[in-house]
């Protein structure tokens, strides 16, 4: 039985917070807050797949895929990837530091939350250590790599976790 994975990418805005800055909004009617791209189903043809994996990265590159990417589909060495910087997204306040909110009742100062590990970017590179992506905390990427036997990851500073899945093409 063929192995398949279905993915959907949706790009929109949280209207109360971000309007009217949705990039495609100029061509959209009033009240349209985004575009949901079509759902796509991919048939995975390779023998090597990794389900959700979490690894701790440092400032040195480490390989993400356990088996070498090969095959001839889509020009060769093709592999679908989901990769995410596992640190919490959004604004961060390191533990112990404070920030001031505009609230007279609370006194205007609080701290946290503190993320586990270092709040840092994850750098993704190809098999030649050519950087192709930089994931800020919480950011993810979904794509089919090509012409590379592996992907590597490291942090910009300190250590933090990256989670990923990969599905090889034959």
Partner 1 sequence: MSYANWNGNKNFRATLTLESEGEHAIFGADTPIRKRTIIDCPYNGKVMQTGSMRLTGQGTKDNLALAALSGDNDRAYLYLFNTSVSTSNSTYVKVGLRAAHDTDSASGDWFATLPSFGQLFIPISDMQSVDLEVIGSSTPIVEYMLLQKDA
Binding site for partner 1 (CB under 8 A): 1-14, 17-18, 20-25, 30, 34, 37-40, 42, 44, 49, 51-52, 73-75, 78, 82, 84, 89-90, 123, 126, 130-136, 138-148, 165, 167
Nearer to partner 1, 30 or 104 (CB): 30
- 83, 124 Cβ separation under 8 angstroms: yes
Distance CA 100, CA 106 (A): 10
Inter-CA distances, 97 with 91, 93, 105, 111, 156, Å:
13, 7, 20, 6, 22
Q: How far is the CB of 149 from partner 1 (least distance, A)?
A: 12
Q: Which residues contact 131 (CB under 8 A, 6 or more apart)?
A: 123, 124, 125
Q: How far is the CB of 3 from partner 1 (least distance, A)?
A: 4
Q: How far is the CB of 68 from partner 1 (least distance, A)?
A: 16
Nearer to partner 1, 52 or 104 (CB): 52
SS3 75: helix
22: β partners: none
Q: How far is the CB of 91 from partner 1 (least distance, A)?
A: 10
User: Which DSSP letter does residue 25 get?
Assistant: G
SS3 34: strand
Distance CA 130, CA 62 (A): 13
Nearer to partner 1, 117 or 134 (CB): 134
Nearer to partner 1, 61 or 82 (CB): 82
Nearer to partner 1, 90 or 96 (CB): 90
Q: How far is the CB of 138 from partner 1 (least distance, A)?
A: 5
């Amino acid at each position: 039985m063929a192995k398949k994975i279905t993915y959907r990418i949706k790009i929109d805005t949280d209207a109360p917070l971000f309007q009217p800055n949705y990039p495609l909004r100029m061509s959209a009617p009033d009240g349209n807050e985004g575009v949901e791209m079509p759902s796509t189903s991919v048939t995975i043809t390779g023998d090597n797949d990794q389900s959700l994996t979490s690894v701790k990265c440092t400032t040195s590159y480490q390989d993400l895929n356990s088996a070498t990417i090969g095959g001839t589909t889509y020009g060769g060495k093709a592999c679908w990837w989901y990769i995410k910087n596992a640190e919490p997204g959004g604004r961060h306040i390191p533990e112990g530091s404070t920030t001031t909110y505009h609230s007279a009742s609370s006194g205007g100062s609080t701290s946290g939350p503190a993320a586990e590990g270092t709040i840092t970017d994850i750098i993704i590179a190809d098999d030649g250590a050519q950087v192709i992506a930089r994931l800020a905390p919480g950011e993810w990427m979904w794509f089919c790599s090509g012409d590379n036997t592996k992907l590597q990851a490291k942090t910009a500073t300190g250590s933090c976790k990256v989670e990923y899945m990969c599905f090889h093409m034959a």
